[in-house]
Amino acid sequence: MSLFLRLLLYATALLWAPWSLAQAPPSPISTSGACSSELVTLRTTDGVRLQGIVFRASKPRPSALLLVHGYAGTFYGAYFAKLGEAAARAGYDTLALNIRDHDAGPKKSSFTDNQSDIAAGVAYLRQLGHKRIVLLGQSMGTNRVLYYQAASGDPDIAATILVSGPGDLFEWNVWQFGKEKAQAQVDEALKLQQAGREEELMLVDLGPLGKALYTARYLLSMRGPDRRSNPYTNLAKVKNPVLIVQGTADKLIEKDIGKRLQIAAGPTAVLASIDGAEHGFENYESPLSEKVLSWLSTVAP
């Protein structure tokens, strides 16, 4: 059975019987002689269970790779499976991990909770014997991995890869709807918070992504006046090498975001584009993997 089919079946199991996964041991998935993969369940320090898949290299390098998805993403979505296998073949143990607000559905956590999620993934890779960790964020995952570093100061992060980064999340909403409407959503959430109702759900318009239910707490943690999700601010605290990758056909983000991230990261940051690729790099998984692994071989051998 192919790896893709196995992951599809696993995704279906998560949707229909998530309780069973927490009780079952990880299931091995054979890939090739150069690498293997295994489904894993991790627990954060605040008790949240996270599912993921680890791709193990037959001869692992000192550095390992952690893949962090974006809004409503999953460890089995986008290009993660193909990149994970390619990275393992190149010698990088790779963990693709579900963040606690993965998939579609109401969003109730805080953006800052993602620090615990990423910390669980980093701790797992350390348990495998890796002292150098590379963080890769996809879309809103870029904001997540940057916040993790800014908040934790983790000295073991060897490199950072930002793919399809949307930039500041409040500014993204201004770009989509105009400042008045974007601010109105924040003001509504602030009123709920001030009334002691920050766990109350709001219907939020996400433009090309449709509509979703957010608690006021969740919305304010990403877009509010005290938000910690601003990637430009957090990049100032990242001291390791940074690679920024954007697709030229990405219609979900503004064209200048990659350059703005590069400026915030400093003169050593590398900005790369892949012609024709859209936000999720569908059908462009191989060029993306080649770009990422070529860069990694120089900064995290």
> What is the span of the domain harbouring residue 177?
169-228
Q: Are residues 274 and 184 in the same domain?
A: no
Structure tokens at 103: 């998939």
How much is the average pLDDT of 266-286? 97
**Residue 69 neighbours by CB under 8 Å, 6+ apart:** 75, 77, 78, 80, 96, 98, 99, 102, 138, 139, 141
pLDDT at 136 over 90: yes
Q: Are residues 49 and 177 in the same domain?
A: no
Final residue before a domain boundary, out of 202, 228, 254? 228
Tell me how far apart the alpha carbons of residues 161 and 244 are, in angstroms, rounded to a whole number: 6
Average pLDDT, the chain: 91
pLDDT at 26 over 80: no
How much is the average pLDDT of 122-132? 97
Name the residue among 161, 128, 142 with its Cα closest to residue 73.
142
Q: Are residues 164 and 204 in the same domain?
A: no
Q: Are residues 209 and 151 in the same domain?
A: no
Q: Are residues 127 and 8 in the same domain?
A: yes
Please report which helix (H) or strand (E) contains residue 6, including its range. Answer: helix 3-16
Q: pLDDT tier at 33 (50, 70, 90 boundaries)?
A: low
Question: What is the pLDDT at residue 127?
Answer: 97
Question: What is the pLDDT at residue 185?
Answer: 97
For the chain, the domain total comes to 2
pLDDT at 118 over 50: yes
Q: What percent of the chain has pLDDT over 70?
A: 89
The answer to which of 100-104, 191-195, 217-221, 240-244 has the lowest mean pLDDT is 100-104
Tell me how far apart the alpha carbons of residues 20 and 126 are, in angstroms, rounded to a whole number: 27
Tell me how far apart the alpha carbons of residues 106 and 108 are, in angstroms, rounded to a whole number: 6
83 neighbors 76 (Cβ within 8 angstroms): no
How much is the average pLDDT of 220-227? 97
pLDDT at 9 over 60: no
Final residue before a domain boundary, out of 228, 246, 263? 228
Question: What is the pLDDT at residue 25?
Answer: 34
Tell me how far apart the alpha carbons of residues 290 and 208 are, in angstroms, rounded to a whole number: 29
Q: Are residues 253 and 173 in the same domain?
A: no
Q: Are residues 120 and 266 in the same domain?
A: yes
Q: Are residues 130 and 263 in the same domain?
A: yes
Q: Which residues of 121-146 are buried (b: 16+ CB within 10 A; e: fewer)?
A: bbebbeeeebebbbbbbbbbbbbbbb
Q: Are residues 33 and 176 in the same domain?
A: no
Which residues is 40 bridged to in the sheet? 52
Final residue before a domain boundary, out of 228, 246, 266? 228
Question: What is the pLDDT at residue 34?
Answer: 79
pLDDT at 280 over 90: yes
Q: Are residues 101 and 12 in the same domain?
A: yes
Question: What is the pLDDT at residue 104?
Answer: 87
The Cβ of residue 214 has, within 10 Å, a number of other Cβ atoms equal to 23
How much is the average pLDDT of 198-203? 97
Tell me the per-residue pLDDT of 147-166, one tens digit each, with 9 for 90 and over. 999 999 999 999 999 999 99
Q: Are residues 224 and 182 in the same domain?
A: yes
Question: What is the pLDDT at residue 32?
Answer: 57
Q: Are residues 115 and 184 in the same domain?
A: no
pLDDT at 196 over 80: yes
Question: What is the pLDDT at residue 31?
Answer: 54
Q: Please name the amino acid found at residue 187.
A: D
How much is the average pLDDT of 260-278? 97
